[in-house]
Amino acid sequence: MCYRYVLQREALGALATQLGVSRTPDWRSRYNLAPGEAVPAVRQRAGAGGRSYEVVNLHWGLLPAWAQEAATVPANARAEGLSGSPMFREAFRRRRCVIPASGFYEWRAQGGRRQPYLFFLGDGATLCFAGLWEPGREPEGGRAAGSCAIITTAPNELVRPIHDRMPAILESDAFDAWLDPDAERPVLDGLLLPAAGGTLARVAVDRGVGNVAND
């Protein structure tokens, strides 16, 4: 995944309604989100049992509590190495989240230039990326309630000609299992899949999306 995605306000609202979340952070539609920004994510509500979720802003770029502050933190986490990586192991075990999107970008080398493509669900529904999160280091009430990374997996047949990775996309009936802090690893591993064939669409977009200033 090339570190850019889209999240429209309506997509965030639709997911919150689906999950029974009454309050979400203020959000305006964004069309070129990049690592280092605060992005909305769904996670299990602290101290709540069962199916009780909240939507919070998380800094896109995972920073575990034990790690030193760094200029570069991982925005993505490869599904194949989560349980063996010190950076991601504890978050994979206990702190998983869902990161909503309206679409994501990938780039393909084409005639000496890089052509961006936007991938989205053909029916216009909200994409739900599997993610990990870590608690924030700032006092409560800061800009973000922690940090996060998007999990990537092997591409499906639509993405493969463009890029060799894509976000792991959760089906709506997988949310409860993914967000369950007591879920077993075999269950979790089985959820980290590319989008099913025929569900995604793609379109070439203007190269201006390569500049994060162009939203």
* Burial status of residue 109 (CB atoms within 10 A of its CB: 0-12, 13-18, 19 or more): exposed
- Contact between 104 and 127 under an 8 Å Cβ cutoff? The reply is yes
Q: Is 97 a catalytic residue?
A: no
- Residue 167: both structure tokens together: 């976000």
Q: Is 2 a catalytic residue?
A: yes
Amino acid occupying residue 139: P
- What tens digit of pLDDT does each residue of 12-48 get? 999 999 998 988 999 999 999 999 999 999 999 876 6
- What tens digit of pLDDT does each residue of 139-157 get? 444 457 899 999 999 999 9
Tokens 């502050």, residue located: 69
What is the Cα Rg of the chain in Å?
16
pLDDT at 79: 96
pLDDT at 32: 97
- Contact between 148 and 60 under an 8 Å Cβ cutoff? The reply is yes
Percentage of residues of the chain with pLDDT beyond 70: 93
Query: Which position among 54, 69, 80, 106 bears the catalytic label?
Result: 106
Mean of pLDDT over the chain: 91
Task: With H, G, I as helix, E, B as strand and everything else as coil, classify residue 193.
Answer: coil
Measured CA to CA, the distance from residue 15 to residue 75 in angstroms comes to: 22
Asked if the model's pLDDT at residue 57 lies above 80, the reply is yes
- Residue 157: both structure tokens together: 């047949």
- The pTM for the full model equals 0.93
**Residues contacting residue 105 through CB under 8 Å, at least 6 positions apart:** 2, 4, 5, 6, 116, 117, 118, 119, 205, 209
Asked if the model's pLDDT at residue 51 lies above 70, the reply is yes
- What tens digit of pLDDT does each residue of 98-128 get? 999 999 999 998 888 999 999 999 998 999 9
Asked if the model's pLDDT at residue 203 lies above 80, the reply is yes
Q: Within 13 A of 130's CA, how many CA atoms are on the CB side?
A: 30
